[in-house]
């Protein structure tokens, strides 16, 4: 009940355009370049719509835990959100392609893989009333440990931090013991001894201050995984066409900007690791060979379980 009734006509005159405000959950912290890029995306949308659409970013899993963000957008608890694309591999293996070791190891490969994956992913997301807005790769993933790793055997028995099913499989095949830990929880997981090794980007390693709890980094550059930003299709369809256009234009700009930020971080964050005392070394040929063997096994497993659309995406990529 309104205590002070305002005539409807007066209200409408005062607010000619109904401003929308969206809450946007994201999984990673404020020092993460993905989060910074998304804040710029939100600023651009606000400016381009004259404040008609205001997006409030809730970082580091503060509004929804990472694993719930996709379903929160699906059920329209929030209109928009970000997550790590390959965490949806349990729904369809098409989502997990970018985390297959040694399938796509450079930014060019990652862009090509995204083009190949996109039709299958758009279709799968559309079934859940979700629409991708943009996707940005992390720097290639490297190996962090407490001593130099010369062969895969050196990983045997290590408690290994994992962030998706592919990394869990990878760790298991290497004889390590995977433990799922979200990125913001990495420092605590190491300091309590829950984990003692990990594979992630120079960005996440440096942002977690890896030098506080481990000593060695080697750029095995085995895969280039991506984050994705999705919007609820029904919410998007309900926007004014000019606002829709502004969102799509800002999304395109965010993808391009995010890729450049990612590229720039690769070198800068490895330097930060080294400057803080981490020993950065090239992987030995024996280590690379062993890891490639694990990758080959994983790709065989993937192919034996993948949907036709996912296999089609792999064929398109490998063409
Ligand atoms: N950082 C995120 C995902 C991939 C990456 O480089 C993480 O470690 O959780």
Per-residue pLDDT of the chain (319 residues; tens, 9 = 90+): 444 454 554 444 444 457 899 999 999 999 999 999 999 999 999 999 999 999 999 999 999 999 999 999 999 999 999 999 999 999 999 999 999 999 999 999 999 999 999 999 999 999 999 999 999 999 999 999 999 999 999 999 999 999 999 999 999 999 999 999 999 999 999 999 999 999 999 999 999 999 999 999 999 999 999 999 999 999 999 999 999 999 999 999 999 999 999 999 999 999 999 999 999 999 999 999 999 999 999 999 999 999 999 999 999 999 9
Q: Which domain holds residue 164?
A: 142-223+279-318
C-alpha 22 – ligand 1 centre gap (Å): 25
Residue 3 is assigned to a structural domain of this protein: no
Residue 153 is assigned to a structural domain of this protein: yes
Beta pairing partners, 229: 82, 134
The answer to whether residues 62 and 112 belong to one domain is yes
Ligand 1 atom closest to Cα of residue 225: 4
Residue 33 CB–ligand 1 contact under 6 Å: no
The answer to whether residues 133 and 195 belong to one domain is no
Question: What are the φ and ψ backbone dihedral angles of 287, each rounded to 5 degrees?
Answer: -65, -45
For 49, counting Cβ atoms within 10 Å of its Cβ (0-12 exposed, 13-18 middle, 19+ buried), the class is buried
The answer to whether residues 147 and 219 belong to one domain is yes
Residue 183 CB–ligand 1 contact under 6 Å: yes
The answer to whether residues 21 and 134 belong to one domain is yes
Residue 248 is assigned to a structural domain of this protein: yes
Question: Which tokens hold the place of 93?
Answer: 């293996």
* Domain tally, the chain: 2
Question: Which tokens hold the place of 142?
Answer: 């490297």
The answer to whether residues 40 and 87 belong to one domain is yes
The answer to whether residues 111 and 174 belong to one domain is no
Residue 64 CB–ligand 1 contact under 6 Å: no
The answer to whether residues 97 and 205 belong to one domain is no
The answer to whether residues 90 and 29 belong to one domain is yes
Handedness of CA 56, 19, 251, 115 (dihedral sign): positive
Ligand 1 atom closest to Cα of residue 141: 6
Find how far residue 38's CA is from the centre of its chain: 12
Residue 144 CB–ligand 1 contact under 6 Å: no
The answer to whether residues 12 and 121 belong to one domain is yes
C-alpha 249 – ligand 1 centre gap (Å): 27
The enclosing domain of 56 has a CATH number of 3.40.190.170
């Amino acid at each position: 009940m309104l205590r002070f009734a305002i005539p409807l006509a007066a209200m409408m005159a005062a607010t000619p355009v109904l401003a929308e405000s969206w809450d946007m959950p994201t999984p990673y912290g404020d020092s993460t370049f993905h989060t910074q890029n998304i804040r710029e995306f939100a600023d651009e949308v606000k400016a381009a719509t004259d404040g008609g659409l205001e997006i409030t970013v809730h970082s580091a899993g503060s509004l929804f835990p990472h694993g719930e963000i996709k379903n929160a957008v699906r059920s329209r608890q929030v209109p928009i959100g970000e997550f790590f694309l390959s965490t949806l591999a349990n729904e369809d293996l098409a989502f997990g392609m970018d985390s297959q070791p040694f399938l796509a190891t450079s930014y060019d490969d990652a862009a090509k893989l995204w083009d190949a994956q996109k039709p299958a992913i758009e279709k799968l997301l559309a079934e859940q009333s979700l629409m991708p807005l943009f996707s940005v790769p992390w720097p290639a993933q490297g190996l962090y440990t407490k001593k130099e790793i010369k062969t895969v055997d050196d990983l045997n028995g290590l408690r290994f931090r994992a962030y998706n099913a592919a990394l869990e499989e990878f760790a298991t095949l290497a004889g390590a013991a995977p433990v799922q830990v979200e990125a913001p929880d990495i420092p605590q997981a190491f300091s309590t001894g829950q984990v003692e090794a990990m594979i992630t980007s120079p960005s996440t390693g440096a942002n977690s201050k890896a030098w506080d709890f481990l000593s060695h980094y080697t750029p095995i550059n085995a895969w280039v995984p991506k984050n994705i930003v999705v919007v609820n299709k029904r919410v998007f369809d309900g926007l004014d066409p000019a606002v829709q256009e502004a969102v799509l234009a800002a999304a395109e700009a965010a993808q391009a900007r995010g890729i450049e930020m990612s590229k720039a971080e690769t070198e800068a964050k490895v330097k930060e690791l080294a400057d803080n005392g981490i020993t950065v070394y090239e992987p030995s040929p024996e280590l690379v060979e062993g890891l490639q063997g694990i990758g080959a096994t994983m790709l065989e497993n993937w192919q034996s379980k993948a949907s036709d659309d996912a296999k089609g995406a792999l064929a398109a990529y490998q063409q």
